[in-house]
């Protein structure tokens, strides 16, 4: 999301800059536009021409960006999160690039096309542009102010994001992250999955293996609303990470209270983190041990 935010800022700056340059160059193109109007080219035809020119610039920019992505990722691999990849064979990526191209063309080309097609032929042939009206000048000044504002926000945001990324890379996450390979398997038969884990453990070079639905830092799609009872009662929506009894020791997590879950299939147990315990009203995690939880339908 951080990188997406940076990309959006840069794209907005590019669009605003293109609009400013296009309208600033309208004086040089006034004779061309005036001559086309005299020769019978209507406003729709001029609009299509100007949008086509904008589309060509946009497509060239997209193609150049696609060629530079992988070299840039390699160059800055030390400063960006791991796992970011780029492949033109991804159908979703191609749809996204197509949508970005169309949207950028429309946003960047609308106002310049509107200004240039509104030129008066008689004045245009004399080299006089009527784009200097108060409304046009006000909009151009507003775009320049907006561009500087976004630039300053981007510069400040870059420093903040850099500190955040550095923190994410160097902070103690509370569990082991190195030398771990995650293999995705969509099987639903628990017994077969347990057998697979046992066989994986016997492979050369494998120290341990664990059966899990989500890794600690992965995006968990499993959210559950829980009802808890005891000295305190209430409801709480939580994000659940499902794993077997080896999940905690595998990632070398430290239990501040209580014990690890049991390997029994009949046991229905849950380990909560300190934030969850505090949300339930237990500042001391040990006070939450043994409390009753019930998933709500």
| DSSP letters for 129-182 | ----SHHHHHHHHHHHHHHHHHHHHHHHHHHHHHHHHHHHHHS--SS--TT---
Tell me whether residue 179 is in a domain.
no
User: Which portions of the chain are predicted below pLDDT 50?
Assistant: none
Number of domains in the chain: 2
Q: Which of 222, 182, 272, 3 is nearest to 280 (CA)?
A: 272
**In terms of domains, do 122 and 198 share one?**
no
Q: Which of 46, 55, 52, 49 is nearest to 117 (CA)?
A: 46
Tell me whether residue 291 is in a domain.
no
Residue 286 main-chain phi, psi, to 5 deg = -65, -25
Measured CA to CA, the distance from residue 6 to residue 4 in angstroms comes to 5
**In terms of domains, do 7 and 91 share one?**
yes
Is the separation of the CB atoms in 33 and 119 below 8 Å?
yes
**In terms of domains, do 11 and 117 share one?**
yes
**In terms of domains, do 106 and 8 share one?**
yes
Tell me whether residue 56 is in a domain.
yes
Is the separation of the CB atoms in 58 and 101 below 8 Å?
yes
**In terms of domains, do 127 and 197 share one?**
no
Q: How many CB atoms lie within 10 A of CB 290?
A: 8
CA distances from 111 to 16, 51, 142, 294 (A): 10, 10, 13, 58
Is the separation of the CB atoms in 256 and 244 below 8 Å?
no
Measured CA to CA, the distance from residue 196 to residue 203 in angstroms comes to 11
Domain extent at residue 16:
1-132
**In terms of domains, do 110 and 220 share one?**
no
Task: Find where tokens 């239990």 sit.
Answer: 255
**In terms of domains, do 197 and 126 share one?**
no
Q: Which of 188, 243, 187, 196 is nearest to 215 (CA)?
A: 243
**In terms of domains, do 25 and 112 share one?**
yes
Tell me whether residue 286 is in a domain.
no
Tell me whether residue 177 is in a domain.
no
**In terms of domains, do 127 and 2 share one?**
yes
Measured CA to CA, the distance from residue 113 to residue 129 in angstroms comes to 14
Tell me whether residue 28 is in a domain.
yes
The verdict on pTM exceeding 0.95 is: no
**In terms of domains, do 98 and 205 share one?**
no
Tell me whether residue 115 is in a domain.
yes
Q: What local confidence, expressed as pLDDT, does residue 60 receive? A: 92
Of 132, 154, 182, the one marking the end of a domain is 132
**In terms of domains, do 101 and 7 share one?**
yes
Tell me whether residue 40 is in a domain.
yes
């Amino acid at each position: 999301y951080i990188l997406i935010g940076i990309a959006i800022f840069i794209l907005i700056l590019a669009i605003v800059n293109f609009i400013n340059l296009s309208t600033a160059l309208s004086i040089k193109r006034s004779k061309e536009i005036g001559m086309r109007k005299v020769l019978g080219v209507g406003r729709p035809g001029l609009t299509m021409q100007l949008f086509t020119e904008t589309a060509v610039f946009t497509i060239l920019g997209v193609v150049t960006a696609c060629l530079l992505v992988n070299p840039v990722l390699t160059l800055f691999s030390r400063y960006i999160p791991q796992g970011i990849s780029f492949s033109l064979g991804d159908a979703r990526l191609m749809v996204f690039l197509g949508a970005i191209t169309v949207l950028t063309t429309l946003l960047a080309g609308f106002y310049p096309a509107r200004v240039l097609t509104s030129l008066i032929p008689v004045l245009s042939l004399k080299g006089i542009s009527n784009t200097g009206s108060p409304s046009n000048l006000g909009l151009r000044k507003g775009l320049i102010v907006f561009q500087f504002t976004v630039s300053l926000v981007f510069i400040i945001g870059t420093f903040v994001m850099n500190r955040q990324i550095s923190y994410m890379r160097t902070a103690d996450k509370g569990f082991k992250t190195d030398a771990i390979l995650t293999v995705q398997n969509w099987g639903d038969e628990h017994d077969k999955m347990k057998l697979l884990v046992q066989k994986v453990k016997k492979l050369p070079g494998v120290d341990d293996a664990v059966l899990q639905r989500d890794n600690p830092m992965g995006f968990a799609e499993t959210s559950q609303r829980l009802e808890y009872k005891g000295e305190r009662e209430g409801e709480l929506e939580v994000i659940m990470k499902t794993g077997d009894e080896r999940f905690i020791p595998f990632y070398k997590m430290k239990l501040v209270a209580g014990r690890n879950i049991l390997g029994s299939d009949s046991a229905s147990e849950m380990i909560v983190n300190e934030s969850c315990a505090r949300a339930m009203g237990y500042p001391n995690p040990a006070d939450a041990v043994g409390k009753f939880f019930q998933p709500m339908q």
